[in-house]
């Protein structure tokens, strides 16, 4: 079963990151922050193996498949490339960048999990080595989700204050 708190962390952290980055890079719109949230859950598409077992696909296509590479930079890069081709050319780069931001934040968060939960072949296909860092939380720790909520709220408040300040500073608005 997908842990709700864990899933929440994986969408809220990229949202907070994208929102904070939007202060510096105004082209990162609220919509693109949502794209980063989607990126945050991309690596966990490997969980599709529970819904669509590899054996099922193998029996249909006759080739051996594995969902496992989804949880690596290689698998995610393929999905991002496909996904960015489905959007308009003007948004392609922005969408790819924000999906990548979300996916990277996912890997960093997973890496900080207490092993063995956080040990994956993240760098596949560059290397199949399993990265292991000591980690300091488990996927059942609720406080991580609480921290993520607070971070997201803080980022949101910061972005709102900034946009209000911008409105205040430019009383003469040029209406298109």
**Residues within the interface to Zn ion (CB under 5 A):** 43-44, 110
Q: How far is the CB of 108 from Zn ion (least distance, A)?
A: 11
Contact 23, 162 (CB under 8 A): yes
If the CB atoms of residues 44 and 54 are measured against Zn ion, the closer one turns out to be 44
Q: Cβ closer to Zn ion: 110 or 152?
A: 110
The Cα angle at residue 99 between residues 112 and 105, in degrees rounded to 5:
15
Q: Smallest gap, in angstroms, from Cβ of residue 62 to Zn ion?
A: 30
Of 7 and 54, CB closest to Zn ion: 7
Q: Which is nearer to Zn ion, 3 or 44 (CB)?
A: 44
Q: How many CA atoms lie within 13 A of 83 on its CB side?
A: 19
Q: What is the nearest approach in angstroms of Zn ion to the Cβ of residue 101?
A: 15
List the structure tokens of 170.
């430019």
121: CB partners within 8 A, 6+ apart? 68, 69, 71, 72, 127, 128, 129, 130
CB 22, min distance to Zn ion, A: 25
């Amino acid at each position: 079963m997908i842990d709700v708190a864990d899933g929440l962390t994986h969408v809220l952290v990229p949202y907070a990151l994208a929102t904070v980055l939007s202060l510096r890079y105004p082209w990162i719109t609220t919509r693109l922050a949502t794209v980063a949230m989607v990126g945050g859950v991309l690596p966990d598409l490997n969980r599709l193996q529970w819904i669509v077992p590899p054996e099922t696909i193998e029996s249909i296509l006759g080739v051996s498949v594995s969902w496992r590479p989804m949880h690596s930079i290689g698998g995610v890069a393929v999905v991002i490339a496909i996904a960015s081709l489905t959007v308009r050319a003007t948004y392609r780069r922005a969408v790819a960048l924000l999906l990548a931001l979300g996916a990277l934040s996912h890997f960093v968060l997973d890496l900080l999990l207490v092993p063995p939960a956080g040990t994956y072949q993240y760098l596949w296909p560059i290397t199949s080595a399993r990265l292991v860092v000591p980690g300091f939380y488990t996927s059942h720790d609720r406080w991580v989700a609480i921290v993520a909520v607070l971070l997201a709220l803080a980022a949101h408040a910061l972005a709102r204050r900034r946009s209000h300040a911008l409105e205040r500073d430019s009383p003469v608005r040029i209406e298109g």
